[in-house]
Chain A
Amino acid sequence: MVPVTYYLTLSALMFTLGIVGVVIRRNAIVVFMCIELMLNAVNLSFVALSRLVGNLDGQIAVFFVMVVAAAEAAVGLAIIISLFRSAKSVETSDANQLNG
C-alpha cells in the first residue's frame, strides 16, 4: 500500500506549482488553470487525510470543493470572455485601466 505521506507530498507539490503559476503567468486563462490546480491539490489532501484520520468527512468535503470548482470555472470563463470583448486580450497586463 502506498503510504499517505506520498499523497500529501504530491498534493503539496501540486499546490506549490499552482501558486507559482498564478504568480508568474500573465495569461488570465493559465492563471485560472493554476487556481484549479490548487483546488485539486487540496482535494487530494482531503482524501488522503480522510484515510489517515479514519473518517469520511474529508471525502464529503471533496464533493463540495468539486462543485465550487465547477461553479468557479463557469463564472471565471464568463468574466474572461466579457473582458475579452472589450479589451481584445486575455493578458492580465492588458487589464490596466484601473490604476491610481
Chain B
Amino acid sequence: MTTVGLKDIALSSPVLLIGGGSLLMLLVDVFMGKREWPRAFLAMAILLVALISLGVFYPPFQAGVMAFNGFVYADVFSWLITLLVLFGTMLTVLIGMNVLEQEGIESPGEYYSLLFMATAGAIVFATAAELVTLFIGLETMSMALYCLCGAALRSRRSSESALKYFLLGSFSSAIMLYGIALLYGITGTTLIEPIAEALSRTDTVLAHCSLALILIGFVFKIGAVPFHFWAPDVYEGAPTPVTAFMACVIKTSAVGAALRVLWVGFGGQVLFWSGTIWYVAVLTMILANLVALRQRSLKRMLAYSSIAHAGYMMMGFLSRGTQYDGGAAILYYLVVYTILTVGAFSVVLAVTAKHSANPHSDDISRFYGLAERNPFLALSMAVFMLGLAGIPPGMAGLLGKFYLFSAAVKANYVGLAIVGVLCSAVSAYYYLRVIVAMYFRESDGAEKFELLEPSVALGSVLTLCVIGAVFLGIFPSALYESAAAAMVHF
C-alpha cells in the first residue's frame, strides 16, 4: 500500500500552482464582473511563484527521483523542461499583455486561465512516467489550446484554425490512445519503465503496432512531416500570442515526452523506431524548408520554420545515450529555439496587431523598410532571423545545429547530418529575405499600416530574447553542460 505524501505535492508544486492559478484567474474574473483589473500582473505573479517553487522544492541534480508512486518523473530532465515551459509561458503572457483586445480576444480572464491550463497540461505531459497520465496531460494541454486558437470569437479565421486543430488534434490523440491500450494489453502495465522491462521479454509484432500508433501521436504534436499539415493553417489563424505559445511551449513539452517514451519505454526497440524517425526527420527537413521558401505570410513562414526545426530536433532522437549526447543537443536547441521563435513572433505581433482582422497583415511587404520606421524592431528581428538560420553572427542557432549534427555524426548518421546541413543552407534564403525586406527595400506604401508602439512588456521581451540569443551564442557551455548533466541521469 503506497500513499501520497507532502513530498509528492512539493515535487509537483509548479503544476499544482499553475493549475490552481488558472482557476484563481477565472474566479477573480467572476467576482470583478465587468470591471478592469490587472490580470496580467496576477498571471505574472502566479508564474513567478511557480518558478520559485520549482527552485525551492526540487532536489538539486539527483538521479531517478519520482513522485506519486512512480507516476511522475521529478529528475533533472523534468526540471529543465518544466523551467523552459514556464519561461515560454511567461514570455507569452508578457507579449500578449497589451494587445489582447487588438487581437480580438474579448475575455482576457478566460485567456489567461486557458493559457495556464495549457501550461499545466504541458508540464504533466512532459514529466509523466505513466501513459494514462501522459495522455491526460496531453489532452489538458490540447483542449485548452483548441479554445485559445478560437479565442478571437468574432474572427472567422480564428474559429477556423480552432476547428482544424481540434478535429486533427483529437484524431491523433485517439490514435495514440489506441497504441497505449494495445501496449497495456501486451505488457499488463501503463508505467513506462515496467513497460520497457516487459518488452525486453516479449517483443512482438503487436508491440511494434502499438509503437507505430504512439509515434503517430507524437509526430503530430511535434508537428513533423507527414503529420504537419495542420500547423501552417493553425499558426496563421490563431491570435499571434497563442501562436508563439504553440510554437515554443507545445513543441518543448511534446519533444520532452517523446524522448522519455522512446528512449526509456521503447529503449529496447531502437532498431524498429530509429528507421521511422530517420525518414520522418529527413522528410521534415526537406519538405518544410522547401515549402517555406514560397510563403509570403510571415506567420506561415515561421510555422514552416518551426516544422523544419522539429526535423532538426528529430535528428537528436537517433543519438541516444551519454556517449552521443543527442539529448543534451536537443535540450540546448529547445532553449535557443524558444528564445528565437518567441522573439520573432513578438516582432510579427508588433507589426500586425493593429490590423489583425486583415488577412494580409503579416505579408512580407508589410515589413518593407521596417529598419527606417522602427530600427529597434528591425534589429531584433534581424538577430532572430540570423539565429534561426544559424548564420554567424547568429551564433546561438549555429551552435545548436552544430551540437545536433555532431551528435548525429557520432551516432553514425552521417547522411542525415549532410541532409541537415544542406537544408539549413536552403533555409538561409527565406530567413535572409526578411532581413532584406526590412533593410534594403523601400517601404512602398507599408508605412500607412501603423505599427504597434512596443509597450514596456513587449520591449523587455525583445531585449531579453536578443540578449539571450547573443549570450547563448557566446557562452554556450553553461547551458550545454547542465543539459548534458541532466541527460546523465535520464
Name the contact of B177 in the complex, choosing from A42, A79, A86 (C-beta under 8 A). Answer: A42
Q: For B163, what are the chain A residues with a Cβ–Cβ distance below 8 Å?
A: 28, 79-80, 83, 92, 95
Instruction: Find out whether the CB atom of A45 lies under 8 angstroms from the CB atom of B160.
Output: no
Complex CA distance for A32 and B135, rounded to whole angstroms: 19
Q: Is the CB of B135 within 8 A of A57?
A: no
Enumerate chain A residues within 8 angstroms of B316, measured Cβ to Cβ: none
Assuming the contacts A18-B174, A41-B178, A82-B150, asked whether A98 and B160 have C-beta atoms less than 8 A apart, the reply is yes
Q: Are A87 and B143 within 8 A (Cβ)? A: no
**B80 beta carbon closer than 8 Å to chain A:** no
- Does the CB pair A75–B160 fall under 8 Å? no
Q: Is the CB of B190 within 8 A of A83?
A: no
Complex CA distance for A79 and B159, rounded to whole angstroms: 7
A47 to chain B, nearest CB (A): 10
Task: Tell whether B359 is near chain A: CB-to-CB under 8 Å.
Answer: yes
Interface centre among B135, B171, B177, B189 (most CB of A within 10 A): B177
Assess whether B243 is interfacial by the CB under 8 Å rule. Answer: no
CB nearest neighbor in A for B165: A79
Q: Which residues between 76 and 100 of chain A lie within 8 Å of chain B, taking CB atoms?
A: 76, 78-80, 82-83, 85-87, 92, 95, 97-100
- CA A45 to CA B135, docked complex, whole Å: 16
Q: A41-B178, A98-B157 are in contact. Are A28 and B167 (CB under 8 A)?
A: yes
Does B161 count as interface, using CB distance less than 8 angstroms? Answer: yes
Do A58 and B181 form a contact, CB below 8 Å, given A82-B162, A86-B154?
yes
A38 and B178 form a contact (CB under 8 A): yes
B167 with A98: CB separation less than 8 A: no
Number of interface residues of B (CB under 8 A): 43
Using known A-B contacts A87-B159, A98-B161, A100-B232, determine if residue A79 contacts B146 with beta carbons closer than 8 Å.
yes
Interface: A65 (CB within 8 A): yes
Within 8 A of A (CB), among B63-117: none
CB neighbours (8 Å) of A54 from chain B are 188
Which residues of A sit under 8 angstroms from B174, Cβ to Cβ? Answer: 18, 35, 38-39, 42
Once the chains bind, are B237 and A98 in contact (CB under 8 Å)?
A: yes
Which residues of B from 124 to 149 have beta carbons under 8 Å from A? Answer: 132, 135-136, 139, 143, 146-147
Chain A residues with CB under 8 Å of B24's CB are: none
Q: How far is the CA of A50 from the CA of B182 in the complex (A)?
A: 11
B170 within 8 A of A: yes
Choice from A8, A35, A58, A61 contacting B170 with Cβ under 8 Å: A35
Please report the C-alpha to C-alpha distance between residue A42 and residue B176 in the assembled complex, in whole angstroms. Answer: 10
Shortest distance from the beta carbon of B193 to any chain A beta carbon, whole Å: 15
Q: B residues within 8 A CB of A75?
A: 143, 146-147, 166
Q: Check B233–A45 contact: CB distance below 8 A.
A: no
Given A35-B171, A39-B174, A76-B170, A83:B188 Cβ within 8 A? no
Chain B residue contacts of A31, Cβ below 8 A: 167
Shortest C-beta distance, B217 to chain A (Å), equals 12
Residues in chain B near residue A22, CB distance under 8 A: 167, 171
Contact at A87–B233, with CB atoms within 8 Å?
no
- The verdict on A97 contacting B132 (CB below 8 Å), with A28-B167, A39-B174 known, is no
- Whether B295 and A83, one on each chain, are in contact in the complex, defined by CB atoms closer than 8 angstroms, is no
Whether B489 sits at the interface, judged by CB under 8 Å, is no
Q: Is the CB of A49 within 8 A of B181?
A: yes
B147 CB, min distance to chain A CBs, angstroms? 6
Cα–Cα distance between A38 and B181 once the two chains are bound (Å): 12
Question: Considering only CB atoms, which chain A residue lies closest to B136 in the complex?
Answer: A64
Contacts of A52 in B (CB 8 A): 185
How far is it, in angstroms, between the C-alpha of A83 and the C-alpha of B339 when the chains are bound?
A: 33
Residues of A within 8 A of B171 (CB): 22, 35, 38
Shortest distance in angstroms between B398's beta carbon and chain A's nearest beta carbon? 28
A45 & B185 in contact (Cβ 8 Å cutoff)? yes
Which B residues are CB-close (under 8 A) to A72?
A: 139, 143, 170
Chain B CB within 8 A of A13 CB: no
Q: Is B446 an interface residue (CB 8 A)?
A: no
Q: A83-B160, A97-B160 are in contact. Are A71 and B166 (CB under 8 A)?
A: no
Name B317-347 residues within 8 Å CB distance of A: none
A42:B189 contact, CB within 8 angstroms: no
Q: Are A71 and B139 in contact (CB under 8 A)?
A: yes
B197 CB to nearest A CB, Å: 15
B482 within 8 Å of A (CB atoms): no
Check B190–A57 contact: CB distance below 8 A: yes
A31–B168 alpha-carbon span in the complex (Å): 10
Separation of A53 and B184 alpha carbons in the complex (Å): 8
The proximity string for A residues 1-29 relative to B, scoring 1 for CB distances below 8 Å and 0 otherwise, is 00000001000000100110010000010
**B181 and A79 form a contact (CB under 8 A):** no
User: Are B166 and A100 in contact (CB-based, < 8 A)?
Assistant: no
A68 touches B136 (CB 8 A): yes
CA distance A15 to B164 in the complex (A): 21
Q: Give every chain B residue within 8 A of A45 (Cβ-Cβ).
A: 178, 181-182, 185
Instruction: List 6 A-B pairs, minimum CB-CB distance, nearest first.
Output: A49-B185, A53-B188, A86-B156, A38-B174, A83-B159, A98-B233
19 pairs from A and B in contact (CB 8 Å cutoff):
A31-B167, A32-B167, A41-B178, A45-B185, A46-B181, A55-B188, A65-B177, A68-B135, A68-B136, A72-B139, A72-B170, A76-B166, A78-B147, A82-B150, A95-B164, A97-B156, A97-B157, A98-B160, A100-B295
